[in-house]
Chains A and B, each alone.
Chain A
């Protein structure tokens, strides 16, 4: 019975979260075009924020650079799925050692996997930095990585098209693809969280020095989470490219970073449920605000540009003040606990013996 309860305890949170994203997918699959777009992009956001939470949620180190992994996934998908004739036109000036990029072609599922893997390689290269830094320094370092990535993508015109849009990507992402990847991301993130590495990383999040004193290799666990996190965010980038069919380097910079940080902070960066709830809640909020701004709820009177962003920022400020750990705090979505013996609390069922040294 004890092991059955432990399994139920372990399984219920990812099951509930997958159920939640399934509801969003069903809404997208059965709704009109606008609903499908909103639902699919919300699911892509879920993938990204879940990926971000694999690192930030378990390590307690906020990253402002994860959008670079999304960019890696998106560009990889573009290179692999844009039809070869179009690529030869778009990338006519590719350097010789990269000329194979114009010839290579794959299906969307392969591109999706490749997007994740390329992002994981970027994660592997950058992991030594996050393994060595903590706190504010680590956050600033991740921002520096984003700046480097953005500038490379923006300046290396022959390969990345610079500030011009990457176009001609076939639409591979459907609502169900987005759901499948989001569900897989939730399961992988949960498995990592419960793994021996995940537990040790969460311990280091709570107290770095106490973790060191317990023999925990904090740097190694941070690096592992960083790479896994990069892989998931790369998948989000591949889905993003495969849904929008065109994108611009500016889509992978500060605006996107802010949007995703709002999602994870508002939901609660310490819990996986917070990541999912935050991604869905902010996606819905952004859509409602977009419609307000377009005048659809105000009789055609458009609101001044930027009002939607102002409101999102204001919501974030309120949440940070009222609930610093977000809507979910450290809680996970769980089924209501069954109470025994006329509603006696579980705590009262604990053995009566006093812990040694209890005050």
Chain B
């Protein structure tokens, strides 16, 4: 049995109830309730400054909520650090990639697998599996700082997958890529997530990517929830058209 095959399989829910964070009086996120379930891809969308990344930061533990609670099933994560959340399976990527630049791609992925508590041999097995799955094996021995922007993002995702996520929080993973590449990447993530029954929260600007890959959408504006539902319903919602799609048509 491979290391990846030993990943957790039970159905879970990651949810934030009435979560909020304020910066010097500015409400970046204000009373947002959001829920991601195992095996689904939830798109978190909204115009610039709507609070998407802040919401992701709250869920991942990079920011501490000034109000509300965050739960993984029946475990209260609100006071947990980002590392403790990662060890429980809430794993994130960053907008800028933030790969371990002077480590090789293989070391990037293996370090995360070790961080998840795998033994060395299991970590190596999982690493090779992920490198192969995301077609990174050709650059596995290259230092991450020497990669193209696209490969940096793929490496960051590979690293997140190696951390054995139950919930994967992706912050604009397709930025800087053309539509075909972006859809290919998200499809790969979706396939990976479904095989492992992992929930995905996708923060993404590119609406074609979001509409093509998400099971549900959660729309934010000015730090508040506008609507949540299936992509078709969200797309036709007048409020969404006004605040978001309206700018594109």
Contact = CB atoms under 8 A, between A and B. Distances in A.
A211 interface: yes
B138 A353 contact: yes
Contacts of B142: 347
Contact of B100 (A202, A218, A347): A202
Contact of A350 (B139, B149, B157, B159): B139
B98 A199 contact: no
Instruction: Decide if the interface of chain B is mainly helix, strand, loop or mixed.
Output: helix
A357 B174 contact: yes
B111 A214 contact: yes
A357 B94 contact: no
A85 interface: no
Interface in A210-243: 210-218
A209 B92 CA distance: 11
Interface in B28-82: 60, 62, 81-82
Contacts of B153: 357
B59 to A, nearest CB: 12
A204 to B, nearest CB: 9
A359 interface: yes
B177 A216 contact: no
B117 A215 contact: yes
Interface centre among B107, B115, B149, B184 (most CB of A within 10 A): B115
B110 interface: yes
A47 to B, nearest CB: 25
B115 A211 contact: yes
B94 A210 contact: yes
A7 interface: no
A200 interface: yes
B200 interface: no
B112 interface: yes
A202 B103 contact: yes
Nearest to B156: A210
Contacts of A200: 111, 114-115
Given A207-B99, A209-B98, A357 B185 contact: yes
Interface of B: 60, 62, 81-83, 86-87, 91-94, 98-103, 107-108, 110-112, 114-117, 120, 123, 134-139, 142-143, 148-151, 153-154, 156-157, 159-160, 162-163, 173-174, 176-177, 181-182, 184-185, 188
Given A203-B107, A212-B81, A215-B115, 11 more contacts: A202-B102, A202-B107, A209-B94, A213-B93, A214-B160, A214-B162, A215-B87, A350-B138, A354-B135, A356-B181, A357-B184
